[in-house]
Amino acid sequence: MKFKINLVMLCILIGMCVAKGQTTQVNPQLLNGSWSAFWVSHPNTQQREYGIYHFRKSFTLTAIPTSFYVNISADNRYRFFVNGNQVCSGPARGDLFNWFYETVNIAPFLKAGKNTIAALVWNMGDLAAVGQISNQTAFVVQGNTESEKIVNTNHDWKVMKSKAYTPCSVDNGERLKAYMVVGPGDRVDGTQYLWGWENPGYDDSSWENAKEITHPDPVGYGTDNRWTLAPRSIPFFEEHLSRFPYLRRASGMNVNNDFLLGKSRLEIPAHQTVSILLDNSVNTVAYPELTVAQGKGAIIKLTYAESLFDAAGNKGNRNEIENKEIKGNYDEFIPDGGENRKFRPLWIRAFRYVQLDITTKDEPLLINDLSCMKTGYPLEMKASFSSSDPALHDIWNVGWRTAQLCAGEQYYDTPYYEQLQYTGDSRIQALISLYMSGDDRLMRKAILDFYHSRTPEGLTQGRYPSNRLQIIPPFSLFWVSMIHDYWMNRQDDEFIKQFLPAVNEIMEWYHARTDKDKKMLGPLTWWNFVDWDNFNGWGTAPGSDKGNSSIITLQYAYTLDQAADLFKAFGHTAQAEEYKALATDLNQNTFMSCFNPEKGLIADTPDQLTYSQHAGIWAVLSGAMPQNEVPKMMKKLLEDKSIGQVTFFYRFYLIQALKKADMADLYYSELRPWKDMLKLGLTTFAEKPEPTRSDCHAWSASPNYDFLATICGIVPDAPGFSKVLIKPALGELTDAEGTMPHPLGQISVKLQREGKEGIKADITLPKELTGIFTWKNKSVKLHGGNQTIQNL
């Protein structure tokens, strides 16, 4: 099963991919050799330890330029200022082989005469988020052309290590009894902070000159690289001012919520201890911004939580606060007594509830303002959905919020606990992005991120970027499925072709571990996670360690079919046929070993001791289950609660199996878990059924895809979405209406039941798009433009 590809052609494909993702303003010379600027750092500091640094450079311009592009990056992160104005932050997370930089036009912030550019750069050291890869503390600015090289980082830049910052909230996992790896909180001592350091006119004469480390090198160049630079391929985060709508309780003094409107300030008397609980009403991702005056030496603690906890550690209804307390990550700010002192954490915070615990010293504290800057990837809603059930509208809105909060510089599994990009999550998130926004940039980045994560064995890592190794072999299969999804939804051959050797390596890894006697997969290494709340505490598939897991064997067969589609499309017919034959062999032998005719179910292993919805799902999706047995088994999968049940993650695949079984009309009745979450006051969808760790987990937003792809029935019917299939599944709904973005325009479907079996469909397709409409086994051809179908 070895796949061969010309090495020169592979390099060309990779180069074309890089070029397609680059920022158009990047000077081509910066893509083809070492930069003239230096990576710089502080000259007297431990380069891999926790530290926050101020960088500055002043320069003179004779006139305001029409454009002035600079390329910026840092390790770990930076916030960039021009003449006191915050311009951007970054870099987008990647790895040392693909360290991203941002290209920004700073001309609108420049003036004739003296100008100052500055950056706050931080390195969280061994406290950094697991999603943060790092080499050492460093910062770089490269002018885009000769006229902009005046700002290049070198020895002339000034730098000062901050004494104001120390880490706090470093024990989140212990306090919350949960896996939490987003990095520390910020404790900022205002008496040590360099107020006004980013503004022109600040006296930096006592600062040290920066230490030159090395010249930066772009991808494909260099011989001793510490970072290999790649242009940012996704847009910047947006920021929008938001205010807390509710003050839920206060102790220590009487507090009204006028200060939340930003129109009055709150005075905390001297020698007072006050606690104020605020409710944002919905989960959000934001930078909290607190502006205070006076209050020298006071301690202000801001604690962030998705929900409150009762004495037993349960969340219950998320709207209720009685007899509950806040637990979560936190920041602390110590004012210096000055006026208009603003605290903003270095990195985003996820929360619904924020609690301020304030202890003042010898002078009163004035809270001038407290707000938050909502932020995240700029996903734009370009889809719509409505139906005869208003509850679906609520699910749609909450699902969209969930998808938005889990979209950052990569897809997040959960913005509160991890901010890590997992393949299993990302496949579902990417489809939601495509269907709701038409934006494929995060999907492309995710596919590339996992491509860059590959191990010597040929598997992708289960999550990436990550500074800890985690291998989840079934997630490598999901990566192949993600490439197949992209191929079906986008015409982008050069991007896809580069992954074929890596796809082959994954298929070969599994093929080498096939049990020659059972002709199923044998023992597998690493963490063979399938789903939570099943099998064992780690969600591991039965038989994965000792061999003969029907679940993973059938997922492998399903993925072989998808890989065969890809290889055939790009001219590798023999490879495709080999994959198809292997998939058939695995399906037949797994069915023979694991199907129990009395139960009408596929067992998890050949010993037939346990059964699960998961095994049955993959038997349907892979084609292992004979078609005449599929409806009966699907019915049992839905009704038999004694077998292993899917959680929210695998409900996506349950619905795919219902569709393949031609039972998609049952989808509407399977929405009860989402309606139940709404009844519990959740404003984003949870990781799994109660009790759950995360209240915001992107894989649980799958209804936002299925309302369009299953209820409205809109799916690609040929690669690149060059044809469309519209096969609605209304269930008990009497009507439904949806629109979604397509590469050629907008697809619109309006459906109305007529009697018991009839349908009226008003459909609008982009002018160049054709397809098929199917209802109750009858089909009609679709053309570009408007059409009405009824009396089928």
- Listed range (251-260, 665-674, 778-787) with the worst mean pLDDT: 251-260
757-767: pLDDT as tens digits:
999 999 999 99
Specify whether the CB–CB gap between 74 and 40 falls below 8 A: no
Contact between residue 425 and residue 413 where contact means Cβ atoms under 8 Å apart:
yes
How many CA atoms, within 13 angstroms, populate the side-chain half-sphere of residue 673? 22
The whole-number average pLDDT for the span 458-476 is: 98
Range list of β-strands (E), 561-650: 595-596, 601-602
Tens of pLDDT, residues 501-555:
999 999 999 999 999 998 999 999 999 999 997 778 899 999 999 999 999 999 9
pLDDT of residue 302 exceeding 50, the answer is yes
Please state the three-class secondary structure of 315-331 as a single string.
Answer: CCCCCCCCCCECCCCEE
- Mean pLDDT for the stretch of residues 609-628: 96
Tokens 């680059």 sit on residue: 22
The stretch 315-321 carries a mean pLDDT of 98
- Nearest-5° angle of CA 411, CA 416, CA 420? 35
**Tokens in use for 158?**
């000034």
Mean pLDDT of 297-306: 98
Whether pLDDT at 173 is above 50 = yes
- What pLDDT is attached to residue 1? 40
% of the chain exceeding 70 in pLDDT: 97
Domains, the chain: 23-166+188-231 (2.60.120.260), 238-376 (2.60.120.260), 394-682 (1.50.10.10), 712-792 (2.60.420.10)
Cα(565)–Cα(553) distance, integer angstroms: 19
Question: Can you tell me whether residue 43 is helix, strand or coil?
Answer: coil
3-state secondary structure at position 475: helix
* Confidence (pLDDT) at 534: 73
Question: In whole angstroms, what is the distance from residue 529 CA to residue 536 CA?
Answer: 10
Mean pLDDT of 218-225: 95
Top-confidence residue, 5 or 261: 261
Question: One-letter amino acid identity for 19?
Answer: A
Name 504's Cβ contacts closer than 8 Å, sequence gap at least 6.
Answer: 1, 2, 3, 563, 575
SS (H, E, C) 287-302: EEEEEEEECCCCEEEE
Calculate mean pLDDT across residues 229-247. Answer: 96
* Amino acid 535: pLDDT: 79
Q: What is the pLDDT of residue 594?
A: 98
Q: Report the mean per-residue pLDDT for the chain.
A: 95
pLDDT of residue 9 exceeding 70: no
Contacts 24+ apart (CB under 8 A), 451-458: 451/498, 451/499, 451/502, 452/94, 452/95, 452/97, 452/98, 453/95, 454/502, 454/505, 457/509, 458/502, 458/505, 458/506, 458/508, 458/509
The pLDDT assigned to 3 comes to 37
The set of residues, in sequence order, having a beta carbon less than 8 Å from that of 639 and lying 6+ positions away, is none
| pLDDT tens profile 402-456 | 999 999 999 999 999 999 999 999 999 999 999 999 999 999 999 999 999 999 9
Per-residue pLDDT, averaged over 586-608, amounts to: 97
